[in-house]
A and B are shown apart, each in its own frame.
Chain A
Amino acid sequence: MVTSVTSFSRNGVSDWLVQRFSAILLGAYFIGLFGYLVCGAGVDYAAWHALMTSVPMKIINTLVILAIAAHAWVGLWTVTTDYLTRMTFGGAATGVRLAAQALLVLLLAGYVLWGLWMIWGA
Protein backbone atom coordinates (compact mmCIF):
# COMPACT_ATOMS: atom_id res chain seq x y z
CA MET A 1 0.00 0.00 0.00
CA VAL A 2 1.14 3.46 -0.89
CA THR A 3 1.11 5.29 2.42
CA SER A 4 3.34 8.29 1.97
CA VAL A 5 1.43 10.78 -0.10
CA THR A 6 4.15 12.83 -1.71
CA SER A 7 1.89 14.63 -4.13
CA PHE A 8 2.63 18.33 -3.75
CA SER A 9 -1.00 19.32 -3.68
CA ARG A 10 -2.45 16.29 -1.86
CA ASN A 11 -5.62 17.07 -3.71
CA GLY A 12 -6.90 15.17 -6.70
CA VAL A 13 -8.99 18.03 -8.03
CA SER A 14 -6.09 20.44 -8.34
CA ASP A 15 -3.82 17.75 -9.78
CA TRP A 16 -6.47 17.02 -12.35
CA LEU A 17 -6.88 20.70 -13.22
CA VAL A 18 -3.12 21.25 -13.43
CA GLN A 19 -2.81 18.34 -15.79
CA ARG A 20 -5.63 19.48 -18.08
CA PHE A 21 -4.69 23.17 -18.18
CA SER A 22 -1.02 22.46 -18.77
CA ALA A 23 -2.02 20.06 -21.55
CA ILE A 24 -4.14 22.75 -23.21
CA LEU A 25 -1.35 25.30 -22.92
CA LEU A 26 1.24 22.90 -24.32
CA GLY A 27 -1.05 21.81 -27.15
CA ALA A 28 -1.81 25.39 -28.14
CA TYR A 29 1.86 26.38 -27.90
CA PHE A 30 3.19 23.64 -30.10
CA ILE A 31 0.41 23.91 -32.65
CA GLY A 32 0.97 27.68 -32.76
CA LEU A 33 4.71 27.32 -33.14
CA PHE A 34 4.30 24.68 -35.80
CA GLY A 35 1.85 26.92 -37.63
CA TYR A 36 4.33 29.78 -37.46
CA LEU A 37 7.09 27.65 -38.93
CA VAL A 38 4.89 26.31 -41.71
CA CYS A 39 3.12 29.55 -42.65
CA GLY A 40 5.84 32.09 -41.90
CA ALA A 41 7.71 31.18 -45.08
CA GLY A 42 11.42 31.84 -45.00
CA VAL A 43 11.90 32.09 -41.27
CA ASP A 44 15.59 32.79 -40.87
CA TYR A 45 17.82 33.02 -37.83
CA ALA A 46 17.23 36.71 -37.38
CA ALA A 47 13.46 36.38 -37.42
CA TRP A 48 13.56 33.40 -35.08
CA HIS A 49 15.94 35.20 -32.74
CA ALA A 50 13.77 38.29 -32.73
CA LEU A 51 10.70 36.22 -31.93
CA MET A 52 12.28 34.26 -29.14
CA THR A 53 13.85 37.28 -27.46
CA SER A 54 10.70 39.40 -27.54
CA VAL A 55 9.27 39.88 -24.07
CA PRO A 56 5.81 38.36 -24.77
CA MET A 57 7.47 35.24 -26.17
CA LYS A 58 9.82 35.06 -23.20
CA ILE A 59 6.82 35.09 -20.88
CA ILE A 60 5.04 32.45 -22.93
CA ASN A 61 8.14 30.26 -22.98
CA THR A 62 8.44 30.57 -19.21
CA LEU A 63 4.84 29.48 -18.76
CA VAL A 64 5.39 26.58 -21.15
CA ILE A 65 8.42 25.36 -19.23
CA LEU A 66 6.51 25.52 -15.97
CA ALA A 67 3.57 23.72 -17.60
CA ILE A 68 5.83 20.93 -18.86
CA ALA A 69 7.33 20.48 -15.40
CA ALA A 70 3.93 20.49 -13.66
CA HIS A 71 2.39 18.15 -16.22
CA ALA A 72 5.33 15.77 -16.03
CA TRP A 73 5.30 15.81 -12.25
CA VAL A 74 1.61 14.92 -11.89
CA GLY A 75 1.95 12.18 -14.49
CA LEU A 76 5.16 10.69 -13.16
CA TRP A 77 3.99 10.92 -9.57
CA THR A 78 1.00 8.84 -10.64
CA VAL A 79 3.23 6.33 -12.39
CA THR A 80 5.48 5.94 -9.35
CA THR A 81 2.55 5.44 -6.99
CA ASP A 82 1.03 2.86 -9.36
CA TYR A 83 4.07 0.73 -10.01
CA LEU A 84 6.65 1.34 -7.28
CA THR A 85 4.59 -0.25 -4.52
CA ARG A 86 4.77 -3.20 -2.16
CA MET A 87 3.47 -5.40 -4.95
CA THR A 88 6.66 -4.90 -6.93
CA PHE A 89 9.23 -4.03 -4.28
CA GLY A 90 7.96 -5.53 -1.03
CA GLY A 91 9.17 -3.77 2.11
CA ALA A 92 11.61 -1.59 0.17
CA ALA A 93 8.79 0.02 -1.81
CA THR A 94 8.55 3.27 0.13
CA GLY A 95 12.29 3.85 -0.10
CA VAL A 96 12.43 3.00 -3.80
CA ARG A 97 9.46 5.24 -4.52
CA LEU A 98 10.81 8.18 -2.54
CA ALA A 99 14.20 7.84 -4.22
CA ALA A 100 12.59 7.78 -7.66
CA GLN A 101 10.40 10.74 -6.83
CA ALA A 102 13.34 12.71 -5.44
CA LEU A 103 15.29 12.00 -8.61
CA LEU A 104 12.36 13.17 -10.72
CA VAL A 105 11.97 16.36 -8.70
CA LEU A 106 15.66 17.17 -9.03
CA LEU A 107 15.59 16.44 -12.75
CA LEU A 108 12.51 18.58 -13.34
CA ALA A 109 13.83 21.40 -11.16
CA GLY A 110 17.09 21.22 -13.11
CA TYR A 111 15.24 21.45 -16.41
CA VAL A 112 13.19 24.40 -15.22
CA LEU A 113 16.25 26.31 -14.01
CA TRP A 114 18.13 25.49 -17.18
CA GLY A 115 15.17 26.63 -19.28
CA LEU A 116 14.79 29.87 -17.34
CA TRP A 117 18.48 30.53 -17.70
CA MET A 118 18.20 30.06 -21.46
CA ILE A 119 15.22 32.39 -21.70
CA TRP A 120 16.19 35.16 -19.32
CA GLY A 121 19.91 34.73 -18.85
CA ALA A 122 22.52 36.63 -20.79
Chain B
Amino acid sequence: MKVSIYRYNPETDREPYMQEYEVDTQGKDLMVLDVLALVKEQDPTLAYRRSCREGVCGSDGMNMNGKNGLACVTALSIVAPGVLEGKKALVIRPLPGLPVIRDLVVDMTMFYNQYEKVQPYLINDTPAPAIERLQSPEEREKLDGLYECILCACCSTSCPSFWWNPEKFLGPAALLQGYRFLADSRDTARDDRLSRLDDPFSLFRCRGIMNCVSVCPKGLNPTRAIGHIRDMLLERAI
Protein backbone atom coordinates (compact mmCIF):
# COMPACT_ATOMS: atom_id res chain seq x y z
CA MET B 1 0.00 0.00 0.00
CA LYS B 2 0.97 3.59 -0.53
CA VAL B 3 1.83 5.85 2.38
CA SER B 4 2.43 9.56 2.07
CA ILE B 5 4.12 11.20 5.04
CA TYR B 6 4.84 14.81 5.92
CA ARG B 7 8.57 15.30 6.31
CA TYR B 8 10.41 18.27 7.70
CA ASN B 9 13.81 18.52 9.28
CA PRO B 10 14.47 22.19 10.07
CA GLU B 11 18.23 21.56 10.04
CA THR B 12 18.35 20.36 6.45
CA ASP B 13 15.05 21.19 4.73
CA ARG B 14 14.07 24.66 3.56
CA GLU B 15 10.42 23.66 3.67
CA PRO B 16 8.25 20.66 4.46
CA TYR B 17 7.41 18.10 1.78
CA MET B 18 5.40 14.89 1.44
CA GLN B 19 7.38 11.69 1.00
CA GLU B 20 5.89 8.57 -0.58
CA TYR B 21 6.56 5.06 0.71
CA GLU B 22 5.44 1.64 -0.42
CA VAL B 23 4.59 -0.64 2.52
CA ASP B 24 3.56 -4.30 2.49
CA THR B 25 1.11 -5.11 5.30
CA GLN B 26 0.51 -8.58 3.85
CA GLY B 27 -3.14 -7.70 3.50
CA LYS B 28 -3.55 -7.11 7.22
CA ASP B 29 -5.70 -4.29 8.52
CA LEU B 30 -2.98 -2.86 10.78
CA MET B 31 -3.11 0.13 13.03
CA VAL B 32 -1.52 3.24 11.54
CA LEU B 33 1.25 3.11 14.17
CA ASP B 34 2.26 -0.37 12.93
CA VAL B 35 2.49 0.99 9.41
CA LEU B 36 4.73 3.80 10.67
CA ALA B 37 6.97 1.16 12.27
CA LEU B 38 7.24 -0.59 8.90
CA VAL B 39 8.11 2.70 7.25
CA LYS B 40 10.74 3.39 9.89
CA GLU B 41 12.39 0.04 9.05
CA GLN B 42 12.85 1.34 5.50
CA ASP B 43 13.76 4.86 6.53
CA PRO B 44 15.16 5.30 10.04
CA THR B 45 15.22 9.09 9.64
CA LEU B 46 11.44 9.32 10.09
CA ALA B 47 10.57 10.88 13.45
CA TYR B 48 7.33 10.38 15.39
CA ARG B 49 6.30 10.00 19.03
CA ARG B 50 4.77 6.91 20.57
CA SER B 51 4.99 5.04 23.81
CA CYS B 52 2.20 2.79 25.05
CA ARG B 53 0.88 1.73 21.61
CA GLU B 54 -2.55 1.11 23.12
CA GLY B 55 -4.29 4.46 23.38
CA VAL B 56 -3.26 5.27 26.93
CA CYS B 57 -0.33 7.66 26.84
CA GLY B 58 -1.59 10.11 24.25
CA SER B 59 1.77 10.66 22.59
CA ASP B 60 1.00 9.57 19.02
CA GLY B 61 -1.70 12.05 18.10
CA MET B 62 -1.43 12.87 14.40
CA ASN B 63 -3.50 13.76 11.39
CA MET B 64 -4.40 10.73 9.29
CA ASN B 65 -6.16 11.34 5.98
CA GLY B 66 -7.43 14.64 7.29
CA LYS B 67 -8.61 13.52 10.70
CA ASN B 68 -6.79 13.76 14.01
CA GLY B 69 -6.44 10.62 16.08
CA LEU B 70 -4.09 8.28 17.89
CA ALA B 71 -2.15 6.23 15.35
CA CYS B 72 -1.95 3.23 17.67
CA VAL B 73 -5.71 2.71 17.94
CA THR B 74 -6.71 3.80 14.45
CA ALA B 75 -7.13 0.96 11.98
CA LEU B 76 -6.33 1.48 8.31
CA SER B 77 -9.82 0.40 7.27
CA ILE B 78 -11.34 3.08 9.50
CA VAL B 79 -9.17 6.04 8.63
CA ALA B 80 -8.60 5.31 4.95
CA PRO B 81 -11.11 2.76 3.62
CA GLY B 82 -9.79 1.23 0.40
CA VAL B 83 -6.16 1.85 1.24
CA LEU B 84 -5.41 -1.88 1.50
CA GLU B 85 -6.89 -2.45 -1.96
CA GLY B 86 -4.62 0.28 -3.30
CA LYS B 87 -7.54 2.59 -4.05
CA LYS B 88 -5.94 5.45 -2.17
CA ALA B 89 -2.91 6.34 -0.10
CA LEU B 90 -2.60 6.67 3.66
CA VAL B 91 -1.72 10.32 4.22
CA ILE B 92 -0.08 11.22 7.52
CA ARG B 93 0.64 14.72 8.76
CA PRO B 94 1.51 16.19 12.16
CA LEU B 95 -1.26 17.64 14.33
CA PRO B 96 -2.34 20.89 12.66
CA GLY B 97 -1.73 24.31 14.17
CA LEU B 98 1.28 23.55 16.35
CA PRO B 99 4.90 24.27 15.34
CA VAL B 100 6.63 21.24 13.84
CA ILE B 101 9.85 20.19 15.53
CA ARG B 102 10.54 17.47 13.03
CA ASP B 103 8.38 15.27 10.75
CA LEU B 104 5.38 14.20 12.85
CA VAL B 105 6.71 15.59 16.12
CA VAL B 106 5.08 18.87 17.14
CA ASP B 107 5.91 21.37 19.85
CA MET B 108 3.14 21.05 22.44
CA THR B 109 4.19 24.08 24.52
CA MET B 110 1.18 26.19 23.51
CA PHE B 111 -1.13 23.32 24.34
CA TYR B 112 0.41 22.74 27.78
CA ASN B 113 0.44 26.46 28.54
CA GLN B 114 -3.31 26.54 28.09
CA TYR B 115 -3.66 23.42 30.21
CA GLU B 116 -1.67 25.07 33.00
CA LYS B 117 -3.96 28.11 32.95
CA VAL B 118 -6.99 26.14 34.15
CA GLN B 119 -5.11 25.11 37.31
CA PRO B 120 -5.61 21.39 36.70
CA TYR B 121 -5.38 20.32 40.32
CA LEU B 122 -7.66 20.26 43.32
CA ILE B 123 -7.75 23.51 45.29
CA ASN B 124 -9.19 23.28 48.76
CA ASP B 125 -8.36 25.80 51.47
CA THR B 126 -10.25 24.08 54.27
CA PRO B 127 -8.16 22.17 56.87
CA ALA B 128 -7.25 18.72 55.62
CA PRO B 129 -9.26 15.97 57.34
CA ALA B 130 -7.55 12.99 58.95
CA ILE B 131 -8.76 10.73 56.17
CA GLU B 132 -9.44 11.40 52.49
CA ARG B 133 -11.91 14.07 51.45
CA LEU B 134 -14.94 11.93 50.79
CA GLN B 135 -17.33 12.14 47.88
CA SER B 136 -20.73 10.53 47.49
CA PRO B 137 -21.09 8.16 44.53
CA GLU B 138 -23.27 10.83 42.84
CA GLU B 139 -20.60 13.50 43.30
CA ARG B 140 -17.97 11.16 41.93
CA GLU B 141 -20.16 10.35 38.96
CA LYS B 142 -20.00 13.97 37.84
CA LEU B 143 -16.32 13.48 36.98
CA ASP B 144 -17.05 10.67 34.52
CA GLY B 145 -16.35 11.72 30.97
CA LEU B 146 -13.89 14.34 32.24
CA TYR B 147 -11.07 12.67 34.11
CA GLU B 148 -10.34 10.18 31.30
CA CYS B 149 -8.64 12.77 29.09
CA ILE B 150 -5.08 11.75 28.17
CA LEU B 151 -4.03 15.18 26.83
CA CYS B 152 -3.30 13.88 23.36
CA ALA B 153 -4.21 17.29 21.85
CA CYS B 154 -6.21 15.73 19.02
CA CYS B 155 -9.19 17.91 19.96
CA SER B 156 -7.52 21.29 20.42
CA THR B 157 -5.51 20.93 17.21
CA SER B 158 -8.69 20.20 15.25
CA CYS B 159 -10.40 23.31 16.59
CA PRO B 160 -10.36 26.35 14.24
CA SER B 161 -10.72 28.73 17.19
CA PHE B 162 -7.56 27.21 18.69
CA TRP B 163 -5.73 27.55 15.38
CA TRP B 164 -6.55 31.27 15.12
CA ASN B 165 -5.94 32.20 18.78
CA PRO B 166 -3.85 29.47 20.41
CA GLU B 167 -2.47 31.88 23.02
CA LYS B 168 -5.83 33.27 24.10
CA PHE B 169 -8.46 30.59 23.52
CA LEU B 170 -7.81 27.76 25.94
CA GLY B 171 -9.01 25.08 23.56
CA PRO B 172 -11.26 22.07 24.19
CA ALA B 173 -8.73 19.95 26.10
CA ALA B 174 -7.90 22.62 28.68
CA LEU B 175 -11.55 23.62 29.04
CA LEU B 176 -12.58 20.01 29.58
CA GLN B 177 -10.02 19.80 32.36
CA GLY B 178 -11.16 23.16 33.68
CA TYR B 179 -14.64 21.75 34.01
CA ARG B 180 -13.30 18.57 35.59
CA PHE B 181 -12.22 20.66 38.59
CA LEU B 182 -15.22 22.99 38.52
CA ALA B 183 -17.41 19.91 38.78
CA ASP B 184 -15.45 18.41 41.67
CA SER B 185 -17.34 18.60 44.98
CA ARG B 186 -14.04 18.79 46.88
CA ASP B 187 -12.80 21.90 45.10
CA THR B 188 -13.36 25.28 46.77
CA ALA B 189 -11.91 27.60 44.11
CA ARG B 190 -14.96 27.64 41.90
CA ASP B 191 -15.38 31.39 41.85
CA ASP B 192 -11.73 32.07 41.15
CA ARG B 193 -11.73 29.47 38.39
CA LEU B 194 -14.77 31.06 36.77
CA SER B 195 -13.28 34.55 37.01
CA ARG B 196 -10.39 33.38 34.87
CA LEU B 197 -12.71 32.28 32.10
CA ASP B 198 -15.13 35.14 31.54
CA ASP B 199 -13.12 37.23 29.07
CA PRO B 200 -14.11 37.14 25.38
CA PHE B 201 -11.37 34.66 24.44
CA SER B 202 -10.54 31.98 27.02
CA LEU B 203 -13.84 30.14 26.74
CA PHE B 204 -16.15 32.23 24.60
CA ARG B 205 -14.12 31.66 21.45
CA CYS B 206 -15.71 28.24 21.30
CA ARG B 207 -18.14 28.39 18.41
CA GLY B 208 -19.65 24.98 19.04
CA ILE B 209 -18.38 23.39 15.83
CA MET B 210 -17.76 20.15 17.70
CA ASN B 211 -14.65 19.14 15.75
CA CYS B 212 -13.24 18.30 19.16
CA VAL B 213 -16.01 15.81 19.88
CA SER B 214 -15.65 14.09 16.54
CA VAL B 215 -11.93 13.38 16.97
CA CYS B 216 -11.51 12.55 20.67
CA PRO B 217 -10.07 9.02 20.80
CA LYS B 218 -11.45 8.59 24.31
CA GLY B 219 -14.97 9.47 23.22
CA LEU B 220 -15.12 12.54 25.45
CA ASN B 221 -17.29 15.58 24.80
CA PRO B 222 -15.45 18.88 25.38
CA THR B 223 -18.28 20.87 23.79
CA ARG B 224 -20.69 19.71 26.47
CA ALA B 225 -18.19 20.57 29.22
CA ILE B 226 -17.73 24.03 27.68
CA GLY B 227 -21.51 24.43 27.68
CA HIS B 228 -21.63 23.54 31.37
CA ILE B 229 -18.95 26.13 32.19
CA ARG B 230 -20.82 28.73 30.15
CA ASP B 231 -23.98 27.97 32.12
CA MET B 232 -22.02 28.44 35.35
CA LEU B 233 -20.67 31.77 34.10
CA LEU B 234 -24.12 32.98 33.07
CA GLU B 235 -25.64 31.89 36.34
CA ARG B 236 -22.95 33.76 38.21
CA ALA B 237 -23.43 36.91 36.11
CA ILE B 238 -27.20 37.13 36.40
A102 contacts B by Cβ under 8 Å: no
B205 surroundings in chain A (CB, below 8 A)? 78
Docked-complex contact B200 and A82, CB < 8 angstroms: no
Of all chain A residues, the one with the shortest Cβ separation from B197 is A12
Give which listed residue, B167, B230, B233, contacts A1 with CB less than 8 A. Answer: B167
Interface size class of B (residues with CB under 8 A): 10 to 19
Give which listed residue, B161, B167, B199, contacts A12 with CB less than 8 A. Answer: B199
Q: Which residues of B come within 8 Å of A, CB atoms?
A: 160-161, 164-165, 167-168, 197-205, 230, 233-234, 237
Docked-complex contact A16 and B204, CB < 8 angstroms: yes
B60 to chain A, nearest CB (A): 27
How far does the alpha carbon of A12 sit from the alpha carbon of B170 in the complex, in Å? 13
Nearest 5 A-B pairs (CB), nearest first?
Answer: A12-B204, A12-B200, A82-B164, A1-B167, A13-B237
Q: Which residues of A come within 8 Å of B, CB atoms?
A: 1-2, 5, 7, 9-17, 78, 81-83, 85, 87
B31 to chain A, nearest CB (A): 34
A2 surroundings in chain B (CB, below 8 A)? 165, 168, 201
Q: Among A12, A15, A83, A85, find the residue whose CB has the most chain B CB atoms closer than 10 A.
A: A12
Question: Given A85-B164, A85-B165, A87-B164, are A12 and B201 also a contact pair (CB < 8 Å)?
Answer: yes
17 extra A-B contacts, CB within 8 A, seeds A2-B165, A12-B200: A1-B168, A10-B199, A10-B200, A11-B198, A11-B199, A12-B198, A12-B199, A12-B202, A12-B233, A13-B204, A13-B233, A13-B234, A15-B204, A16-B234, A78-B205, A81-B201, A82-B160
